[in-house]
Amino acid sequence: MVQTLDTLRETPSQTAGPYVHIGLMPGWAGNPGAFETELGQTPAGDGAKGERIEITGAVHDGTGAVMRDALIESWQADAAGVYPGQDGADPAVSGFGRFAADPDTGLFTLKTIKPGAVTLPDGRVQSPHIALWIVARGINIGLMTRVYFDDADRDGDPVLSRIEQRHRVETLVAKPEGEGHWRFDIRLRGDGETVFLDL
Amino acid sequence: MTDTTRALGREMGRDPAPGPGRLIPRDLSAHPVPYDPDYKTSVPRSPSLPLLSLESTPTEETGPTFGHGDLGALDANLVLNWTRGEAQAIGERILVHGRVLDEMGRGVPHTLVEIWQANAGGRYRHKKDGYLAPLDPNFGGCGRALTDEHGHYAFFTIKPGAYPWPNRGNDWRPAHIHFSVFGHSFGQRLITQMYFEGDPLIDRCPIVATIKDRSQIDRLVAPLDLSHARPLDHLAYKFDIVLRGRRQSFFENRPEGM
């Protein structure tokens, strides 16, 4: 026999189900006021440094249908590429957003600031990006992906550079749609399937 | 190009952040399979291509923080919070408590736990739930709490009822409470469901059965915990949650050569 490892296994995920909004966005579920304040309403509050942007898009299932019950969370650095909680972070940036697809159109909108590039401990630089985490009925474990920006230098990004099928990189790049507006669609399965991450 | 971006990073005054330890890679065998035809909605909603697996970066190693100022006084009391203390929800009164731990067994302090659930009849207070069981006018069904310095949390609620759902001809969800947990980094983010000891619907549920490792299913079943029941008041269930841990950095080598 050998010694026994004393590590634990992670609790298994389960789908967030169709009523996830009750718990995380009660106002959306039709229960405004269930909590005095809902969390994640603005990743970047008044006075946050940086360029204000809006990212609009939809989550599509494997048949191409738009998902009207998806809930998304976002996490990002401030305009200088510093994450909230790290030294020197912009105090007006919480970094965390939570938003849902519109029940009629399936469109979501993330209103935030454009993050800066993030320098890794080994000196490599991650191109500006926003991490997204998608949950919904039918998704058994939350899906992690990233939004990059079409106008940024992305050649050295350590995540994008590891995507073997180069044409799939484009699934992570938001396209400009006028001043401060960006479009980012997520395809869960099939043609143009978004790259999902396990990091 | 790498040299250019690196130089650019330094020029803008961003020193590389110290590495507090990479997240332990997710053991996906501990989790449900994404695609399971018995849970029909997963068929069009699961990726067909593999995930891109890489070491964690600061994007995953950092995460949002919440404080007591974000929460209301009754947020963890679902028996009272919908009516702001005016009236009590109908149902089996229970305390649900436990610890949030990481894979190293350390308590995760001051982290946010959110829950939502149906009422005692299996009906959700959600504009899209049309089940014929009635709403309880005194029950909302959402709660949230922060763990204490040792990772403990507690909710006071009523035991939810089972409910039918359109999947196969006659599928019913076991009684369950949905849990959402943050941990201290975005890469630890987890949503799961807690089930109740002894419920015969657990073994018949296609959502439960998306977890292929039987011992992992058991980890979602909360035992009755009479030690925390209060005589003539409420029963109790204990539910511990384990999040991804962080590796200690003994040696941080140069980046992978790719």
pLDDT digit string (tens) for A151-163? 999 999 999 999 9
Report the pLDDT value the prediction gives residue B129, as an integer from 0 to 100: 87
Partner-chain contact B59 A121, CB within 8 Å:
no
Residue-range definition of the domain harbouring residue B122: 28-43+63-242
Does residue B169 fall inside a structural domain?
yes
Mean pLDDT computed over B52-74? 96
Does residue A158 fall inside a structural domain?
yes
Does residue A1 fall inside a structural domain?
no
Q: What phi and psi values does residue B68 have, to the nearest 5 degrees?
A: -60, -25
Flag whether residue B6 sits within 8 Å of chain A, measured between CB atoms. yes
pLDDT tens digits, B95-122: 999 999 999 999 999 999 999 999 999 9
Q: Residue B111 is which amino acid?
A: T
Does residue B252 fall inside a structural domain?
no
Confidence band (pLDDT; 50, 70, 90) for A183?
very high
Rg of the Cα atoms in chain B: 21
pTM above 0.90, yes or no: yes
Q: For all residues of chain B together, what is the average pLDDT?
A: 91
Q: Which two tokens stand for residue B160?
A: 């939810």
Residue A65 has pLDDT above 90, yes or no: yes
CATH assignment at residue B206:
2.60.130.10
How far is it, in rounded angstroms, from Cα B254 to Cα B80? 55
Report the pLDDT value the prediction gives residue B253, as an integer from 0 to 100: 59
Beta bridge partners of A36: none
* Domain total of chain A: 1
Partner-chain contact B219 A12, CB within 8 Å:
yes
Partner-chain contact A124 B140, CB within 8 Å:
no
In this structure, what DSSP letter does residue B188 have?
Answer: G
Residue B255 has pLDDT above 80, yes or no: no
Flag whether residue B249 sits within 8 Å of chain A, measured between CB atoms. no
Residue B161 has pLDDT above 60, yes or no: yes
* Domain total of chain B: 1
Mean pLDDT computed over B243-253? 81
Partner-chain contact B180 A24, CB within 8 Å:
yes
Does residue B213 fall inside a structural domain?
yes
Flag whether residue B232 sits within 8 Å of chain A, measured between CB atoms. no
Which residues of B have a catalytic role annotated? 124, 163, 173, 176, 178
DSSP string covering A35-75: SSS-TTS-SB-TT--S-EEEEEEEEE-TTSPBPSS-EEEEE
Does residue B50 fall inside a structural domain?
no
ipTM higher than the 0.90 cut: yes
How far is it, in rounded angstroms, from Cα B94 to Cα A40? 29
Interface test with A, best of B84, B119, B126, B211 (most A CBs within 10 A): B126
Report the pLDDT value the prediction gives residue A122, as an integer from 0 to 100: 85
CATH assignment at residue A181:
2.60.130.10
pLDDT > 90: percent of chain A: 97
How far is it, in rounded angstroms, from Cα B119 to Cα B136? 7
Residue B1 has pLDDT above 70, yes or no: no
DSSP, collapsed to helix, strand or coil, labels residue B47 as: coil
Flag whether residue A89 sits within 8 Å of chain B, measured between CB atoms. no
Listed by number, the residues of chain A in 26-45 with a beta carbon closer than 8 Å to a beta carbon of chain B are 26, 29-31, 34-37, 39-40
